[in-house]
């Protein structure tokens, strides 16, 4: 059953953002055509041309060669291909290379494959600590590489954190890893369209991007792989994408994805300035009007994603806040993962040293192309009462439990 009314405010663009009109038009136009890009007849060659033109456009937008763009079904698959594929390839070349080094605040699409490799493929997992703002401790990486450089298969540090918006010091990470011949993967799913993302300029060896974060369709993504980098496939079948990623390519989805990436990158500077102004206004007013509110992530706006505002509210459960705001017509996100129906504090906040009680009271507000000043005003109007009710509910629950 559809909801009785549309949400008045949508501030969960980091989860998914509405499709861009041009991307939607590209999708619907291409859907009218038939053809498997692997077929040799006219329809197949037409579909192949659509795929390759999309590849060229994504490459040009993100500082890569077309041959370095490997299509995937989204960011999760791209992260799995990077982490597992690089580990298997590097370990096959040199059995000493068993260590997988990832930051403790990575998305689960990186963390879970890394833990899986440790459990099933003999990998040795190393979690890099972060500081109180979620920034990777570069000295810890330096110490790891100085001691175990010959045994490290790969390093994976995200471009920008999906929860608290922290921009990571990838230039330092890459410089350290390069001294030891270790490839670096970066999940840039949240970064594209908000900050400059360029494969060649960054020096990273593998880069993950996703369609639905930039106004493209879901189930689209890419892993940008620097030329000459060996990666063992995760999927086997038809041998598409130079045997790196088998599976029939969806030309309409890729045309739409490329359109969204191209437009997001072209409009990045203007978009970033606009949403950063909205974000800063929201943070300033919430901290002033809601007692016990704390901004998480970098205090310097230049060191975090412009569209991200992550706050915790002492004495609250994030889920309660989420539902109360939703009832008031405001859609946001908690900062926690829910496993088997049991709310748990965010691993990102815990890694930053936030206590479990405070970490449970997290909300992430993320802005996008449809965000307006009226959205900020609506949040500020609804949030104080929601926090008060959530705290009262938490206090009642504590007293009953006692």
- CATH number of the domain encompassing residue 325: 3.90.1150.10
pLDDT in tens, the chain (402 residues): 344 555 689 999 999 999 999 999 999 999 999 999 999 999 999 999 999 999 999 999 999 999 999 999 999 999 999 999 999 999 999 999 999 999 999 999 999 999 999 999 999 999 999 999 999 999 999 999 999 999 999 999 999 999 999 999 999 999 999 999 999 999 999 999 999 999 999 999 999 999 999 999 999 999 999 999 999 999 999 999 999 999 999 999 999 999 999 999 999 999 999 999 999 999 999 999 999 999 999 989 999 999 999 999 999 999 999 999 999 999 999 965 454 455 789 999 999 999 999 999 999 999 999 999 999 999 999 999 999 999 998 755 544 454
Tokens at 2, concatenated: 């559809």
Pairing outcome for strands 293-296 and 330-331 = unpaired
Q: Is 50 in the same domain as 196?
A: yes
Q: Which residues contact residue 263 at a Cβ distance below 8 angstroms, ignoring those fewer than 6 apart?
A: 20, 22, 23, 215
Which pLDDT belongs to residue 344? 82
Do 204 and 329 lie in one domain? The reply is no
**Total number of domains in the chain:** 2
pLDDT at 8: 83
Q: Which runs of consecutive H residues, i.e. helices, occur in 234-355?
A: 251-266, 268-289, 318-327, 347-351
Residues 6+ apart with CB under 8 A from 197: 62, 63, 159, 188, 191, 207, 209, 265
Positions marked catalytic: 338
Residue 14 lies in a domain: no
Residue finishing a domain among 243, 266, 289: 266
Whether 112 and 261 share a structural domain: yes
- Alpha helices by DSSP H, listed for 135-267, are 138-148, 170-179, 199-202, 251-266
Whether residue 317 is found in the same domain as residue 359 = yes
Q: Is residue 396 part of a domain?
A: yes
- Looking up tokens 């970033």 gives 272
Residue 214 and residue 278 in one domain: no
* Residue 395 within any structural domain of the chain: yes
Q: Which pLDDT does position 399 carry in this prediction?
A: 43
Considering the domain architecture, whether residues 297 and 208 belong to the same structural domain is answered as no
Range of the domain at 48: 21-266
Q: What is the pLDDT of residue 143?
A: 98
**Residue 258 shares a structural domain with residue 310:** no
The predicted structure's pLDDT at residue 393: 84
Do 326 and 196 lie in a common domain? no
4 falls within a domain: no
Q: Pick from 266, 287, 305: which residue ends a domain? A: 266
Q: 252 and 283 share a domain?
A: no
1 assigned to some structural domain: no
């Amino acid at each position: 059953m559809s909801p009785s009314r549309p949400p008045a405010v949508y501030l969960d663009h980091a989860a998914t953002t509405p499709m861009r009109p041009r991307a939607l038009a590209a999708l619907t136009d291409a859907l009218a055509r038939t053809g498997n890009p692997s077929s040799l007849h006219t329809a197949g060659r037409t579909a192949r041309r659509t795929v390759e033109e999309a590849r060229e456009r994504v490459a040009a937008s993100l500082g890569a060669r077309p041959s370095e763009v490997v299509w995937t079904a989204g960011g999760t698959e791209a992260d799995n291909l990077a982490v597992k594929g690089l580990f298997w390839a590097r370990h096959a070349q040199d059995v000493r290379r068993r260590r997988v080094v990832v930051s403790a605040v990575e998305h689960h699409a990186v963390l879970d494959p890394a833990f899986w490799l440790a459990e099933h493929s003999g990998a040795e997992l190393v979690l890099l600590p972060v500081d109180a703002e979620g920034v990777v401790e570069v000295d810890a990486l330096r110490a790891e590489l100085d001691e175990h450089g010959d045994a490290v298969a790969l390093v994976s540090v995200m471009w920008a954190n999906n929860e608290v918006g922290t921009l990571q010091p990838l230039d330092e990470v890459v410089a350290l890893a390069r001294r030891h011949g270790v490839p670096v993967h970066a999940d840039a799913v949240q970064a594209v369209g908000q900050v400059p993302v360029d494969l060649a300029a960054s020096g990273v060896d593998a880069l993950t991007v996703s369609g639905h974060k930039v106004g493209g369709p879901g189930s689209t993504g890419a892993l940008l792989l620097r030329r000459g980098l060996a990666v063992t496939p995760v999927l086997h079948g038809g041998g598409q994408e130079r045997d790196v990623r088998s599976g029939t390519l969806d030309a309409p989805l890729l045309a739409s994805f490329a359109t969204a990436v191209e437009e997001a990158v072209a409009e990045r500077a203007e978009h970033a300035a606009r949403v950063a102004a909205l974000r800063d206004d929201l943070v300033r007013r919430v901290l002033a009007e809601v007692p016990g509110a704390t901004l998480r992530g970098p205090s310097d706006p230049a060191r975090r994603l412009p569209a991200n505002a992550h706050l915790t509210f002492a004495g609250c459960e994030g889920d309660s806040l989420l539902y109360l705001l939703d009832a008031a017509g405001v859609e946001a996100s908690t900062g926690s993962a829910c496993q088997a129906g049991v709310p748990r504090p965010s691993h990102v906040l815990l890694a930053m040293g936030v206590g479990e009680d405070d970490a449970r009271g997290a909300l992430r507000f993320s802005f996008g192309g449809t965000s307006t000043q009226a959205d900020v005003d609506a949040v500020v109007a609804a949030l104080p009462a929601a926090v008060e009710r959530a705290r009262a509910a938490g206090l009642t629950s504590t007293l009953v439990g006692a």
